[in-house]
Amino acid sequence: WVKFLQNIMATKTKRIYELKWNKPSDCFILTDTSRNIIALSDSPHTHRVEFTQLAADYKAVNLGQGFPDFSPPQFVQEAFCKAISGGPQMHQYTRAFGHPPLVKSLAKFFSRIVGQDIDPLEDILVTVGAYQALFCAFQGLIDEGDEVIIIEPFFDCYQPMVVMAGGKAVYVPLRPVKGSAILSSGDWVLSADELASKITPRTKAIVINTPNNPLGKVYKTEELQMIADLCIKHNLLCFSDEVYEWLTYDGAKHIKIASLPGMWERTVTVGSAGKTFSATGWKVGWAIGSGNIIKYMKTIHQNSVYHCATAAQEAVAHGFEREYQLFGTPESYFQQLPAMLHHKRKKLALCLESVGLQPIMPEGGYFMVTDISSVKVDLNDPNTKDELYDFRFVKWLVKEKGLATIPVSAFYSPEHSKEFDKYIRFCFVKEDSTLDAAEAILRKWSQKE
């Protein structure tokens, strides 16, 4: 923290500042005399960076970071190459709020699903990854002092984005139902009473993520309806992060909260070409919603990056055209990808069970969370003794077993992280050879016990 302060002081030499530890946000916040936030120290966000480095240092089999180690489907790769060799306009600026072929194909595709006539120019904003869509939503719609409800466990960027917009994060955890063995992400639920109790006159928005990262929960209609009822009753906005929308297993159905009555006009739905077409590096995402809300996000967009890369948008447009034609058929990538991942999900679950770990079968997404409380290991590293159990376990697992994962308490607020420090997250969207290597490590481990 001293170094952090020194760096701040080096640039801002002329003001009086106040430095406070902000417990809910788990960081230092520097404010000026008018209470405006100047800077934040490290947020939980940096844990992900820390663990990626650790995995690299120990040359571990990496089931930590969430991206495929296989290639995108042939048809999008071809579309990209075609775009690159297209006319010169493919390498120049396109429409700032989204390349026309892309917004048209997105509007056509999603109108059918949402049950709403989506206007390609008014109701869609194309962004640099879903990440930037979230950024525009928070920056454009959240003001100083606004409260934003975040459901835990949450994708780690939501919290710093709320804070950066001057808002206050209010957390509600998903909890495992009491009684029976927790076998599925469907067994983690939101208490309607607990959620309602968190709403105050200052609550501006609620952030939901379905399918959820890290748990893999796919919210059912009744659950979304409960959230929708509260949004309508208290006039809240809803930011719905649906980047894993095509990845559902065992017949779980992805439901869009924006399609429920009264929700279209208050919901921003975020999507990702990276997750849709297994091309996370392309950084093409979008926000879809009522033009009355999207227009504020456009103002942020036009004053931050203004345009997104043209060729990648052209390729994604072709991808959606193809999927529109093949929707619901076996050739659709949106059928094939979840089918392929279904088998990998099963493979990983069996490996984990074989060493006495208890996986929570995800109904959707890229990840599997595993309960590690039954495993007895000697975490005797003095360097980590002050850290939460799952952090210590993950570091031990990388160093001693060469297997990289992510601790789940990193996806919780400081006030709840201690309750959830017995879980770690695996990514199973990997080549079979990577999963085989993980299996070998786990088998060796269980044989030694």
Residues 292-321, interacting with other proteins (CB under 8 A): 292-293, 295-296, 298-300, 302-312
Which range in 35-43, 250-258, 316-324, 352-360 contacts other proteins by CB under 8 A? 35-43
Contacts of other proteins in 171-230 (CB under 8 A): none
Q: DSSP alpha helices (H): ranges in 12-124?
A: 45-57, 74-84, 100-114
Distances (CA, A) of 333 to 226, 246, 265, 324: 32, 9, 30, 11
Which range in 111-119, 129-137, 245-253, 362-370 contacts other proteins by CB under 8 A? 129-137
Q: Strands (DSSP E) along 188-343, which ranges? A: 188-189, 203-209, 237-241, 267-272, 285-289
The residue (of 302 and 332) whose beta carbon lies closer to other proteins is 302
CB of 220 to other proteins, least distance (A): 27
Q: Is 293 helix (H, G, I), strand (E, B) or coil?
A: helix
Q: Does 10 bind other proteins (CB under 8 A)?
A: yes
Q: Judged by CB under 8 A, how many residues of this single chain contact other proteins?
A: 76
CB of 15 to other proteins, least distance (A): 8
The residue (of 44 and 173) whose beta carbon lies closer to other proteins is 44
Structure tokens at 217: 């929960």
The residue (of 88 and 328) whose beta carbon lies closer to other proteins is 88
Question: Is residue 125 within 8 Å of residue 134, measured between CB atoms?
Answer: no
Q: DSSP alpha helices (H): ranges in 158-286?
A: 158-164, 192-197, 221-233, 273-276
CA nearest 394: which of 402, 386, 145? 402
Contacts of other proteins in 136-155 (CB under 8 A): 139-144
The residue (of 150 and 255) whose beta carbon lies closer to other proteins is 150
**Residue among 18, 69, 415, 419 that touches other proteins (CB under 8 A):** 69
Q: Does 104 bind other proteins (CB under 8 A)?
A: no
Q: Does 325 bind other proteins (CB under 8 A)?
A: no
Helix (H) or strand (E) holding 345: helix 333-354
CB of 169 to other proteins, least distance (A): 16
Q: Does 71 bind other proteins (CB under 8 A)?
A: yes
Q: Is 279 helix (H, G, I), strand (E, B) or coil?
A: coil
CB of 80 to other proteins, least distance (A): 5
Question: Is residue 126 within 8 Å of residue 99, measured between CB atoms?
Answer: yes
Give the burial string for 335-348 (b: 16+ CB within 10 Å, else e). Answer: bebbeebeebbebb
The residue (of 131 and 420) whose beta carbon lies closer to other proteins is 131
CB of 446 to other proteins, least distance (A): 31
Separation of alpha carbons 15 and 266, rounded Å: 40
Separation of alpha carbons 208 and 86, rounded Å: 39
Contacts of other proteins in 234-263 (CB under 8 A): 235, 237
Contacts of other proteins in 398-437 (CB under 8 A): none
**Residue among 58, 80, 264, 428 that touches other proteins (CB under 8 A):** 80
CB of 46 to other proteins, least distance (A): 9
Question: Is residue 195 within 8 Å of residue 230, measured between CB atoms?
Answer: yes
Q: Does 28 bind other proteins (CB under 8 A)?
A: no
Separation of alpha carbons 406 and 350, rounded Å: 19
**Residue among 25, 41, 132, 370 that touches other proteins (CB under 8 A):** 132
The residue (of 116 and 278) whose beta carbon lies closer to other proteins is 278
**Other CB atoms within 10 Å distance of the CB of residue 55:** 22
Question: Is residue 408 within 8 Å of residue 153, measured between CB atoms?
Answer: yes
